[in-house]
Amino acid sequence: MRRLPCAAAALLSLAAAGRARAHAPDAYGLGSRGASMGGALVADATDFSASYYNPAGLCGATGLGLSIGYGYASNRLRTNGRDSGVRDVHGLAGGLVVPGEVLGVPFALGLATFLPDDGLSRIEAIRQETPRWELYDDRLSILFLAASVAVRPLPFLELGGGVAFLASTRGRFAVTGRADALSPYDSALRHEVDADLTSIRYPHLGARVRAGELGFVGIAYRGEAKLPLAIDARLQGVVDFAGIEVPLLYELESRTVDAFLPRQVVVGASFQRIRGLRVNLDVTWVNWSAYESPVARTRAHLEAAPPPEVPIDLPDDPRPTAVAPLRFGDRFVPRLGVEYVIPAAGGLRKVAGQGERRAIEIPLRAGYVYERSPVPPQKGVTNYVDADRHTMSLGAGVVLNRPLEELPGSLRIDLHGQLSVLPEVVVEKDNPADFVGDYRADGTMLNLGATVTAAF
């Protein structure tokens, strides 16, 4: 009896305590073009990915566009030279752009999504004292969906906005009935499970301005979002032990943040003065100081009414978890992306919305991102592991302009590769008796993928 509340609390807390995390576009980019250019697209995204990078760019679409792609990220993050178990992440990315006009004013609708192919959600509990890569664990396990609209009220100005969706979880389960401690198969128990998904919405806003022949300047805002996870449990019944019946009631409540997306502001420029060449520079402010601890806050209570002749000393209710405060810092993330389109072969063809283009074009791309770690030195009880991240990316593709009469735009196939290097950091504890002790952390992340886009 003494062990029951502790064991049940541990089991149910493991079910409820998730790792706070961001989603795939934040970690690896959305679509092959964005990934290969380091995500520096706030002033230069006009396909489905604009619903993430800057919804105002949807007005730059030259026609109806449909995109589908796949990405696979292999994460090799280590602690003390051993793999930390950060999962490889993979899934489908895609969306559409629908441009049009209303009373002579150009507008566009957009939809973008990232769908992990190994489940829409994953919950894994780890104590705050256990070292784990806090910003990268299970990043792709969250479904991303955004719907956007853009308008061009002036020839040089585009405005856009949208809403992104996530789903939070609330669950309740109960067990009632009679349990036979000596003959478990003779127990008569009834289980009730109730769970629901509640939509969490947050805004994406943006603007794009044409800077004459130089190119475009863009700014975008991505709102903060957090997924609360709530689990309530109630066990009520009678435990029969060799003819001794003990009525029992156990209750547990657990509350945590299953995922956290920080608020972001992105400003950037796309220089397009040289035909076929684009040089993009972005700077992103990320509000990591608002980050909330993923450690579950639980409350447990046990009641029992044994017969008077059976004295049972019930333990006190377990104390709530003492969650150590977080002091993550905001950071600025510079991004550089370069694209050069080679008119490779074929004669000139009139392409819908683009004028005359070569039949076959080859885009070549490269990018670089530097992300300073927002996690402070872990000298105390917590072990949120992180390191600065240097990401180098390359990409290439082929564009078939007006390949069919039924396809007056283009068919584009893009490939990308990203290599992220996280240099070694050494964590030294203030307390020499800390049960984890000092440790080293470093790693690499490799992301490969492809995207196919048909523009009509």
Per-residue pLDDT at 396 = 98
Determine which of 49-53, 226-230, 299-303, 444-448 has the lowest per-residue pLDDT on average.
226-230
Q: What is the pLDDT of residues 57-93, one digit of tens each?
A: 999 998 999 999 999 999 999 999 999 988 888 999 9
pTM (2 d.p.): 0.84
Tell me the per-residue pLDDT of 302-323, one tens digit each, with 9 for 90 and over.
888 877 777 777 777 877 777 7
- Mean of pLDDT values over 388-414: 94
| H or E element that contains 240 | strand 225-241
Residues in the chain: 456
Which residues are CB-neighbours of 201 under 8 A, at least 6 positions away? 163, 164, 165, 225
Give 388's pLDDT tier (boundaries 50, 70, 90): very high
The residue with tokens 């994406």 is 204
Q: Is the pLDDT of residue 3 over 70?
A: no
Q: Average of pLDDT values for 254-276?
A: 90
Identify any residues that bridge with 392 across adjacent strands, giving them in sequence order.
368, 419
| 42-65 pLDDT tens trace | 999 999 999 999 999 999 998 999
Query: Greatest CA span in the chain, whole angstroms?
Result: 98
Q: Measuring CA to CA, how many Å separate 322 from each of 127, 129, 295, 381? A: 11, 11, 9, 11
Q: Which class is domain 3-455? A: mainly beta
d(CA 438, CA 79): 11
Contact (CB, 8 A) for 376 and 329: yes
DSSP 242-306: TTEEEEEEEEEEEEEEEEEE--EEEEEEEE--STTEEEEEEEEEE-GGG------EEEEEEEE--
pLDDT of residue 124: 58
Over residues 85-114, mean pLDDT: 93
Domain ranges of the chain: 3-455
